[in-house]
Amino acid sequence: MKYENMKFLITGGAGFIGGNYLHIMTRKFPKDEFVCLDSLTYAGNMETLKPIMKLTNFKFIRGDIRDRALVCKLFEEEKFDIVINFAAESHVDRSIENPQIFLETNIIGVSVLMDACRKYGIMRYHQVSTDEVYGELSLNSSDTFEETNSIHGSSPYAASKSSADLLVLAYHRTYGLNATISRASDTYGPYQFPEKLIPLMIQKARKGEKLPVYGDGKNVRDWLHVSDHCNAIDLIVRKGRNGEIYNIGGHNERSNLQVVETILKALGKDDSLIEHVKDRLGHDRRYAICPDKIEKELGWRPEYTFDTGIAETIRWNIDNQEWLNHVESGEYLKWMERYQKL
């Protein structure tokens, strides 16, 4: 199927991965139109979209994917061709503390979007998922997750994303919805909210504060630069086979402790800043993605190694303190107070 001069709905586009996707694709495809729908919770903000706000092929609308009336009205008015759902509650720790909002956004919100896709007609719906749906692998094995693996998500976050994936596949099978799913490794890079490991550790190291590392720090993740992640999603949307799942892996397995030590070394800080803290509940030991399918079928390859990606990410965090100050502003703190009361 050929996708040219298309109108895209990008949900969650003011967040980390969605924002980077919009930065790249609005310029790469100037003849396509991109509408961003985002509810602007604590991890999504307009500062992320500032570099593209004046582009003629971009428009922002504030709204929640759980709002069925708003979503249907938007579909009716805008007549989208492609829908890519980046919108999600995504922090594991928050899902352990308060699962409800994860279930509402990550499952109910997805069903609202797909019902609108069915009603108003789209060429493709794409669900941005995660490697966490697969559960964990042994630290002592060389196994990797493949698309045919069963899903065994450990946290409420992973369970909610697993449920969404199953729902997408059900809509494809039952209603004939043209849909694809991507499951990617842990993603890092510019504009990532500083609750996640890499930006959090960069900020704390720069301030000379203690860097909290869960448990023994030996938990392993496969790290993927956000630009590689976004380019893979674009390939899947435009060239991927209908009804298929595609894994996106960075070929960059590192333990959490190795990541933290890399950041400290790059910033000229001492390992004495590392502080081992009580481990996260149900903390998976290892994730590792096999991206053979997307590499063979679509010709995708990651451009970043971990060394090049982490160096660029550290530099971005140093050079963009204004953005970081904004996300840590009083408005963010007020939102957090409301969130804790839910």
Contact 192, 167 (CB under 8 A): no
DSSP H helical segments within 184-250, as ranges?
Answer: 197-207, 226-239
Q: What is the pLDDT along the chain (342 residues), one digit of tens a residue?
A: 566 789 999 999 999 999 999 999 999 999 999 999 998 876 778 889 999 999 999 999 999 999 999 999 999 999 999 999 998 776 666 666 667 777 888 899 999 999 999 999 999 999 999 998 998 888 888 889 999 999 987 778 888 899 999 999 999 999 999 999 999 999 999 999 887 899 999 999 999 999 999 999 999 999 999 999 999 999 999 999 999 999 999 999 999 999 999 999 999 999 999 999 988 777 778 889 999 999 999 999 999 999 999 999 999 999 998 888 777 664 544 544 544 443
Tell me, what's the pLDDT at 299? Answer: 97
Tell me, what's the pLDDT at 164? Answer: 95
Nearest one of 86, 113, 243 to 180, comparing CA atoms: 243
Phi and psi at residue 265, to the nearest 5°? -65, -45
Tell me, what's the pLDDT at 339? Answer: 42
Q: List Cα–Cα distances, 316 to 15, 197, 199, 214, 234, in angstroms.
A: 16, 16, 10, 25, 24
Catalytic annotation present for 157: yes
Please pick, among 64, 132, 165, 222, the residue that the annotation labels catalytic.
132
Catalytic annotation present for 337: no
Tell me, what's the pLDDT at 158? Answer: 86
Contact 39, 70 (CB under 8 A): no
Provide the 10 A C-beta neighbour count for residue 307: 11
Please pick, among 21, 42, 125, 157, the residue that the annotation labels catalytic.
157
Q: What angle do CA 31, 37, 43 make, to 5 degrees?
A: 120
Helix axes 16-28, 226-239, angle to 10 degrees: 60
Please pick, among 38, 64, 131, 295, the residue that the annotation labels catalytic.
131
Give the gyration radius of the chain's Cα atoms: 19
CA distance 121 to 118: 5
Tell me, what's the pLDDT at 104? Answer: 84
Catalytic annotation present for 287: no
Q: Which amino acid is at 65?
A: I
